[in-house]
Amino acid sequence: MVSDSTALSAGRLGGRASAAAGQRSGDVDLRRWFQLGLAAIWLLDAILQYQSFMFTRGFSQMLAGTAAGNPAFIAEPITWAARIIAQHPVPANVGFATIQLLIGFGIAWRPTLRAALAASVVWSVAVWWFGEGLGGVLTGGASPVSGAPGAVILYALLAVLLWPVSEPAKSPAPFVAARPSGRLTASLLWLVLWGSLAYLAVTAANRTAQGLHDMVAGMADGEPSWLAATDRGAAGLLAHQGLSASIVLAVVLALIAVGVFLPVPLHKAAIVLALVLSAAIWVVGQNLGGILAGGATDVNSGLLLALIALAYWPVAAVTRGTPDATEAPAS
Amino acid sequence: MIPAWLLDVFAAVMLVVAAVSAARLAAARLRAGVDANADVDGAHLLMGISMAGMLASGLHTLPNNVWVAIFVAMTVWFAWRVYADSRGRTVGALAAGHHLPHLVHSAAMVYMFAAVTAGSSTGGAGMAGGMGGMGGMGTLRVPTLGLIFILLMTGWVVVDLDRISRRPERRAELGQLRSVLWRHRAAAVAGPVVVMPVAVAAVAVAQTAGPASGSSVEAETATGESATDQPEGRALRGLLDHRTADGCRIAMGVTMALMLVLML
């Protein structure tokens, strides 16, 4: 009797352990890795927020500068917030950095994942308005190459796409980003994101002959020699080619936007294209977020676009609503 | 300029890490005579002291050259440990262990001390031959390498946080296993018919718990009891818990990334 019950108990434990191991090594891990990627970016943002420049009046002046060109109802709150930060730069910046640090830690710490993701959405929207002037999308000067529609709003989008779900469902999701809300909603979000980037690529400011050239060439100052040389080389290619370059960019972005509605091989091709374009934008157009030049407040949009694209990579048997490893019962 | 009190806070955290690591070294020797993680705790101790000195000029201890020599030796040591660990293990398993992250940490320390510009090392802190005090620190040569280290640090911090926040559920599994062992302790002498299924479960739980905590699971299941069974052992067990070392590494990773960002 004793040996039987021991065997049963041990078998149950072993089985549970195996199941847990399987769950960890299966599809749920992929989403967790993306969540950890988001957490790492938040953590990096927090660390960047501790830079010396952020404790000076230059930071508040930078924020105030995002009001320019925006409608009054958007611009006035930005100016008001920048004035407050200018009056109390140290406590304000310590607060900002600490909030971002807590969000990063909270996403990485399994029990606080949901709360941290929810907080990240609220914080991202607030910063998008008060810190980035809605990414300049209403000013007419925003470009996907320089970071439109604003890196911070992409954090909010990622939080939604990577939201942990706990209710079981029958239909399998074709990619990780479809798990919380289903394929259609996730695909529409993708369409809106990349479609808006395609639109922004051909706005008047970006169609000028030297628009893209000036933007890329202007990034070289303060960067390491290899990155500055890359900027100068890319700027040379774009010289007087603003219109054609912006049209090509818009076409590529539009193809990416519709890619998730296509059959799997074309869907995969669109994701690869999105990854390559994101990397190119992050390196050439955004100089790795400008971190190496100092004064960067975040990693800019290229890295986040790449993370979003990875969340749309078609994977087999991602069961929508499968309990997340972060929510696995303790016993 | 970043406020001095903020750097002092991070310096204090580094001193706490150093103190905890020293206590772990001492406690491990008291408990078992041999500390299997002595290199890891020793690395935390030295890094904590040196980083505190870099953050706050008043805590500056040794000249730069001495620290460079120490961390070069540490880098070589952990490179050897990683090489030894690599036999038959995947990259993922290596990254989940202690030695690869410490190799990166040690290399980052060498980089920070060796690549700082000469002008800054004699800067505001006014400490001859040293780099005490971030307030007087300038920039690093080869900043791209610094960015790579920053990305690695932040990545490991979140992975560590994820792992230690995952452990409670595994510990619950271990607790259930331990209760089974206690219930049938007397029966364990009956022979392999009883012991084998329990051993199978123990191995399964240990494998699930991962390489970092596997050894402690095996040790506990082998003896059928643990230090938590004795009141005075709880504090010792908490100190020697892998999560304590992970916590030190997290604090160190964040602080190191911050220092690198400030010096870029």
**CA of A328 to nearest chain B CA: how many angstroms apart?**
8
Would residue A330 count as lying in a domain? no
Nearest to A3 among B144, B169, B190 (CB): B190
Tell the residue number behind the tokens 């790492």, with chain if given.
A40
Residues of B in contact with A11 (CB under 8 A): 197, 201
pLDDT band (50, 70, 90) for residue B237: confident
Q: Do residue A20 and residue B176 have CB atoms under 8 angstroms apart? A: no
The C-alpha atoms of residue A206 and residue A249 are separated, in whole angstroms, by 11
**Per mean pLDDT, which of A1-10, A65-74, A300-309 is the most reliable?**
A300-309
Q: Which pLDDT does position A177 carry in this prediction?
A: 94
Q: Which of A113, A52, A72, A73 is nearest to A297 (CA)?
A: A52
Asked whether residue A119 carries a pLDDT value surpassing 50, the answer given is: yes
Would residue A21 count as lying in a domain? no
pLDDT band (50, 70, 90) for residue A326: low
**pLDDT tens for each residue of B67-93:** 999 999 999 999 999 998 888 777 777
Q: Which pLDDT does position A233 carry in this prediction?
A: 94
Question: Which residues 24-43 on chain A approach chain B with CB closer than 8 angstroms?
Answer: 24, 32, 36, 39-40, 43
Q: Do residue A47 and residue B261 have CB atoms under 8 angstroms apart? A: yes
Residues of B in contact with A24 (CB under 8 A): 208
Q: Which pLDDT does position B116 carry in this prediction?
A: 86
Would residue A7 count as lying in a domain? no
The C-alpha atoms of residue B110 and residue B31 are separated, in whole angstroms, by 33
Look at chain A and report how many structural domains it folds into.
Answer: 1
A51 contacts chain B (CB < 8 A): yes
Tell me which of A42, A43, A300, A327 to substitute to probe the interface with B (most B C-beta atoms closer than 10 Å).
A43
Question: What is the helix (H) or strand (E) element at residue B118, kind and residue range?
Answer: helix B118-121
Asked whether residue B186 carries a pLDDT value surpassing 50, the answer given is: no
**CA of B23 to nearest chain A CA: how many angstroms apart?**
26
Structure ipTM = 0.85
Tell the residue number behind the tokens 């030894």, with chain if given.
B84
Residues of B in contact with A18 (CB under 8 A): 204, 208
Q: Which pLDDT does position A173 carry in this prediction?
A: 84
Q: Do residue B147 and residue A291 have CB atoms under 8 angstroms apart? A: yes
Asked whether residue A83 carries a pLDDT value surpassing 90, the answer given is: yes
Q: Name the 3-class secondary structure at B140.
A: strand
- Report, as an integer, the average pLDDT of A274-288: 95
pLDDT band (50, 70, 90) for residue B131: low
A166 contacts chain B (CB < 8 A): no
The C-alpha atoms of residue B11 and residue B53 are separated, in whole angstroms, by 7
pLDDT band (50, 70, 90) for residue A141: confident
**CA of B24 to nearest chain A CA: how many angstroms apart?**
24
Residues of B in contact with A328 (CB under 8 A): 169
Asked whether residue A109 carries a pLDDT value surpassing 70, the answer given is: yes
Q: Which range among A44-48, A111-115, B184-188 shows the weakest confidence by mean pLDDT? A: B184-188
Q: Which of A202, A197, A209, A210 is nearest to A281 (CA)?
A: A197
**pLDDT tens for each residue of A203-247:** 988 889 888 999 999 888 889 999 999 999 999 999 999 999 999
Q: Do residue B204 and residue A9 have CB atoms under 8 angstroms apart? A: no
Contact A324, A165 (CB under 8 A): yes
SS3 letters across chain A? CHHHHHHHHHHHHHHHHHHHHHHHHCHHHHHHHHHHHHHHHHHHHHHHHCCHHHHCHHHHHHHHHCCCCCCHHHHHHHHHHHHHHHHCHHHHHHHHHHHHHHHHHHHHCHHHHHHHHHHHHHHHHHHHHHCCCHHHCCCCCCCCCCCCCCHHHHHHHHHHHCCCCCCCCCCEECCHHHCCCCHHHHHHHHHHHHHHHHHHHCCHHHHCCCHHHHHHHCCCCCCCHHHHHHHHHHHHHHCCCHHHHHHHHHHHHHHHHHHCCCCHHHHHHHHHHHHHHHHHHHHHHCCHHHHHHCCCCCCCHHHHHHHHHHHCCCCCCEECCCCCHHHCCCC
Look at chain B and report how many structural domains it folds into.
Answer: 1
The residue segments making up the domain with residue A131 are 30-323
Asked whether residue A275 carries a pLDDT value surpassing 70, the answer given is: yes
Nearest to A39 among B158, B190, B258 (CB): B158
Q: Which pLDDT does position B86 carry in this prediction?
A: 85
The C-alpha atoms of residue B26 and residue B35 are separated, in whole angstroms, by 9
Nearest to B208 among A17, A51, A52 (CB): A17
**CA of B113 to nearest chain A CA: how many angstroms apart?**
19
Q: What percent of chain A has pLDDT over 90?
A: 69
Nearest to B172 among A32, A111, A331 (CB): A331
The residue segments making up the domain with residue B103 are 1-264
pLDDT band (50, 70, 90) for residue B174: low
Would residue A12 count as lying in a domain? no
**CA of B15 to nearest chain A CA: how many angstroms apart?**
20
B181: Cα separation from own chain's centroid: 31
pTM for the model stands at 0.82
Chain A: residue whose CA lies nearest to B259: A47
- Report, as an integer, the average pLDDT of B117-134: 47
Would residue A16 count as lying in a domain? no
Would residue A47 count as lying in a domain? yes
Q: Which pLDDT does position A95 carry in this prediction?
A: 95
